[in-house]
Structure 1
Amino acid sequence: GKFLIVRLDGEVYLTLHLGMTGRLLLAPEDGPGPHTRFVFKLEDGGGRTTTLEFRDARKFGRLHLTYGGPAPRLLALGPDAWQGSWDAAYLEDRLRGRKIALKAFLLDQSHLSGIGNIYADEILWWTGLSPLRPAGSLNAGEVASLTEEIPRRLGEGVRLLGCTVQDFVDTAGEPGEFQDWLQAYGRHGQVCSRCGGVLIRVVVGGRGTAYCPGCQR
């Protein structure tokens, strides 16, 4: 999901969540700054060293150092939405009887971990599903479509090196490119590229949501 897990020597585990504004920078030229929270010294075994900095302006990121396994909070997470072991049958079972809005279901990390606000909007646009639909109302075909599109959209985000709408950069300090291909997120008031309708903004589960009422049902 959204957690990074690093196994160190001696059964020591580092579990990291970037939060809203966290970033990892490899040997940044400007050195430790006012938002640097941790500095890791890395050795390659040949005598060469470098640094990895964790910076977080808003302090929502979290770092856990544990022994014998990753942080216990990971036990409450569902399988990884991108590359985890789950299928349409699993998703159908989790959806069954749920009355909450479909987008709220997708954002619940106990079902599938790793889907955030941006990707939820994109997944729902590509599947033609309304974020307001009761989660348990999907038919078998819609569940199958969702099962295909979830890892596909997340995979596209990885291929395009992330989505930089505000703060995100990679370890070299470079922004991602997924934001250049967004079809729904942040596009309320603009024309839908599929049906020509106008995307609108609603709030689902406390999160701003953009979707097209013309072709997302």
Structure 2
Amino acid sequence: MPEMPEIETIRRSLEPHIRGRKIENVEVLLARQIKWPEPEAFVARILQEDIVGLERIGKYLLLQLSNQVSLIFHLRMTGQLVYVAAGAADASHHNRVIIYLDDGARLVFSDTRTFGTLYAMHQDELWRIRGMAEMGPEPLSEKFTAEYLAAAAAGRKTRIKSFLLDQSKVGGLGNIYVDEALFLAGVHPMRLAGSLTGDEIQRLHEAVNRVIADGIADGGTTFRDYRDGNGGKGSHQDNLFVYGRDGEACKRCGTLIAKTKVGGRGTRFCPSCQKI
């Protein structure tokens, strides 16, 4: 699933192409992925409107339109949102919604497994997306401080891996970057969130910010489905310490990277660098 660095990369790569463009036409190829409002009303809300800005909230991408409506994409597992220039061919076989712009270009939403969702909401309706309305502070933001993290984790008997994946606690994190942050902080993923010391919280806060910043700098992580707004792959997969490296030697100590499950999620860690 695309996480905060991937969605931010998509936002940055799309913005130069589509900011200021008008939506001339909309082709809905799979109506059930439009969650609000009904598909006909969805199209009516965005048709003939200008795209005045792009925003990201956690893992949600918001296209701000000239009528105060936000066109919102939640890509989930296999969703892609790619800009296709006028006259260029689109290689995807899983297109679900195509947005035609006034310069002949297209914004193509494709999704192999069809878990992604789309919304067209006025500013006073955004509360309807519960995951976005209840989202916790994002890494790299002013509100995401070590003090906040310590207070949110205090007394919690949830595993720290599951705690960090809870979007109401920290917005935008997913499996890849949580595993990486826990490794850099030297914290075992099975530790209870409330058991972390002040020093561990400080290291974890710094590690979360680092992995997110590095992921953005590398254009995201591509193992299979993720593409940026130009259809390109990220490169952060080449710089991972533990995620996707189970059975391989730890880059720090040489111990084989282990894999377990925490809260039903596949979890990678180094048994030597992250002692429980």
Q: Which one of the candidate residues 86, 95, 103 is aligned to 1:36?
A: 95
Given the two structures, how large is their TM-score scaled by the length of structure 2? 0.74
Question: Does 1:56 pair with 2:111?
Answer: yes
Q: Which one of the candidate residues 121, 130, 136 is aligned to 1:78?
A: 136
Q: Distance in 1 between the 2:142 and 2:124 partners?
A: 18
The match for 1:170 is 228
Q: Distance in 1 between the 2:142 and 2:268 partners?
A: 27
Per-residue Cα deviation, 1:97-125 (whole angstroms, up to 9, x for no partner): 11111101110101011111011111111
Task: Between 82-91 and 131-140, report the one with greater CA deviation.
Answer: 82-91
Q: Which amino acid aligns with 2:203?
A: S
The match for 2:251 is 193
**8 Å Cα contact 1:14-1:70 kept in structure 2:** no
Q: Which one of the candidate residues 173, 176, 190 is aligned to 1:115?
A: 173
Per-residue deviation at 1:32? Answer: 7.8
Q: Stretches of 4+ moved more than 6 A in 1?
A: none
Distance change (3 Å), C-alpha of 1:164 and 1:84: farther
Given the two structures, how large is their TM-score scaled by the length of structure 1? 0.93
The match for 2:77 is 20
The match for 1:153 is 211
Per-residue deviation at 1:83? Answer: 3.2
Q: Distance in 1 between the 2:158 and 2:198 partners?
A: 18
**8 Å Cα contact 1:35-1:57 kept in structure 2:** yes
Q: Distance in 1 between the 2:227 and 2:268 partners?
A: 24
Q: Distance in 1 between the 2:123 and 2:104 partners?
A: 27
Per-residue deviation at 1:76? Answer: 1.4
Distance change (3 Å), C-alpha of 1:196 and 1:34: closer
Distance change (3 Å), C-alpha of 1:81 and 1:92: same
**8 Å Cα contact 1:15-1:70 kept in structure 2:** no
Per-residue deviation at 1:69? Answer: 4.4
More helix by share: 2
Q: Distance in 2 between the 1:150 and 1:18 partners?
A: 22
The match for 2:184 is 126
Q: Distance in 1 between the 2:150 and 2:91 partners?
A: 47
1:210 partner SS: strand
The match for 2:147 is 89
1:38 partner SS: strand
Per-residue Cα deviation, 1:121-171 (whole angstroms, up to 9, x for no partner): 111111111001111111111111111111211111111011001111112
1:81 partner SS: coil
2:180 partner SS: helix
**8 Å Cα contact 1:188-1:210 kept in structure 2:** yes
Distance change (3 Å), C-alpha of 1:84 and 1:12: farther
Per-residue Cα deviation, 1:4-35 (whole angstroms, up to 9, x for no partner): 12211111111211110011111163338541
Pairs aligned (count): 213
**8 Å Cα contact 1:11-1:68 kept in structure 2:** yes
RMSD: 1.6
Q: Structure 2: state its 5+ residue gaps.
A: 1-57
Q: Distance in 2 between the 1:6 and 1:126 partners?
A: 34
